[in-house]
Amino acid sequence: MTTTTDGRAGIDAALVSRLVAAQFPRWAGLPVTPVPVDGWDNRTYRLGDKMTARLPTAATYALAVSKETQWLPRLAPSLPVAVPPILGEGAAGEGYPFPWSIRGWLPGETAADLGRIADLSQFAVSVAEFIRALQACDTTGGPVAGEHSFYRGCPPAHYDDEFRRYRTELDTRVDAARATAVWDAALAAEWRGTPVWFHGDVASGNLLVEDGKLAAVIDFGTSGVGDPACDLVIAWTMFSGESREAFRRAVAQDEGMWARARGWALWKAMLTITESSDADQVAANERVINDVIAEHAGVA
């Protein structure tokens, strides 16, 4: 059994085994192994061949556990691709301080490697169809956007102070005037629509590919009910050229939604550049900023 510690919240395979044995004895003794590609907010471990154990690394991420337990089973029947099946919710224990969950294993690889995708434009359409289906789900009693969604689904004005700080810090790398024009347009495009479901982090790492096609969408930790503009950011972070246009047509959102989406994309790219030391990641986010600024200039 692997017992390597990841260094966050004291999580390792041995801890997962103890939690499972104490709280889900029917699954005690199943092998526990880290997944090859993991996230930052949660640690995920294979539990046998058909399940995973998912443990938040901090209290802010733990807010998502009960939300996903409650809402993913309700959303799943209305969505065109698979989402994580929740098999059980665990409680704090064995020295671990947060709630956690056991889920069914979903086959596929993340879309981070575009070579896995048979037709990127068709894939973009599938992502758009997922977003539209999610928006159409019943919102009755759903979690209103706020702290649990890291303010995805709220007006981008929540991050106004951050944007202006990043603009100053990146003064020599980002055209401040043109970036500010994008941001101001996002703030001005006030959303007055009926609140709908949003995912909050539609990104290549949360899209699973099987046989070259979109097979599943994972990690609903930032999901909620509000303004879905944040879900359009993938137009710049993953798609370009024909695939971006295919996504735009299929997702069918109005220009105000796109103005706010450009603001979200700009803020997130600037945040990432400010905090990242990875040259490839920085370059990718600089491309996002340039594309967003150029698109805004063509619309304005």
Beta strand residue intervals within 85-130, DSSP E: 86-90, 100-104, 109-110
232 and 124 inside one domain = yes
C-alpha dihedral, 91 to 92 to 97 to 100, nearest 10°: -30
- CATH code: domain of residue 86: 3.30.200.20
Spatial separation of the C-alpha atoms in residues 214 and 255, rounded to whole Å: 26
With a cut of 50, say whether residue 230 has pLDDT above it: yes
**Confidence category of residue 9, pLDDT binned at 50, 70, 90:** low
Would you say residue 3 lies in a domain?
A: no
Least Cα distance to 213 among 287, 104, 106, 125 occurs for 125
Distance CA 263, CA 7 (A): 34
Q: What is the pLDDT of residues 233-279, one digit of tens each?
A: 999 999 999 999 999 999 999 999 999 999 999 999 999 999 998 99
Q: Cα dihedral sign for 58, 60, 66, 68?
A: negative
Name the amino acid, one letter, at 85: P
Percent helix, strand, coil in the chain, to 5, is 50, 15, 35
Q: Residue 218: which pLDDT band, with cuts at 50, 70 and 90? A: very high
Q: Among 74, 106, 138, give the residue marking a domain's end.
A: 106
pLDDT in tens, 45-57: 999 999 999 999 9
Residue where one domain finishes, among candidates 80, 106, 132 = 106
- Taking each helix axis from N to C terminus, what angle separates 176-188 and 279-299, rounded to the nearest 10 degrees? 60
Query: Do residue 161 and residue 290 come from a single domain?
Result: yes
Q: Are residues 87 and 168 in the same domain?
A: no
Residues 150 and 31 in one domain: no
The enclosing domain of 239 has a CATH number of 3.90.1200.10
List beta partners, residue 93. 96
Same domain membership, residue 40 and residue 130: no
Per-residue confidence band for 37, with pLDDT thresholds at 50, 70 and 90: confident
List, in order, residues 6 or more apart from 10 with CB less than 8 Å away.
95, 96
| Contact of 165 with 275, CB cutoff 8 Å | no
Note whether residue 63 is domain-resident.
Answer: yes
161 and 97 inside one domain: no
In terms of Cα–Cα distance, which of 8, 35, 32 is closest to 20? 32
Q: What is the pLDDT of residue 6?
A: 44
Question: Is residue 2 scored above 70 in pLDDT?
Answer: no
Domain of 88, in residue numbers: 13-106
Note whether 97 and 243 are same-domain residues: no
Asked if residue 149 and residue 275 are part of one domain, the reply reads yes
At residue 10, the pLDDT reads 81
**Does 36 score more than 90 pLDDT?**
no
pLDDT in tens, 115-172: 999 999 999 999 999 999 999 999 999 999 999 999 999 999 999 999 999 999 998 8
Q: Supply the pLDDT for residue 196.
A: 98
Q: How many CA atoms are closer than 13 Å to the CA of 30, on its beta-carbon side?
A: 21
Model confidence at 1, in pLDDT bands (50, 70, 90)? very low
Give the end of a domain, one of 106, 137, 169.
106
Pair 160, 252 in one domain: yes
Q: Which pLDDT band, with edges at 50, 70 and 90, does 39 fall under?
A: confident
The rounded percent of the chain whose pLDDT value lies above 90 is: 92
Are 52 and 183 members of one domain? no
Does 7 map to a domain? no
d(C-alpha 252, C-alpha 290), whole Å? 23
| Number of domains comprising the chain | 2
Taking the alpha carbons of 15, 17, 19, 22 in that order, is the dihedral positive or negative? Answer: negative
2 falls within a domain: no
When mean pLDDT is compared across 10-14, 117-121, 224-228, 234-238, the lowest value belongs to 10-14
Whether 299 has a pLDDT exceeding 90, the answer reads: no
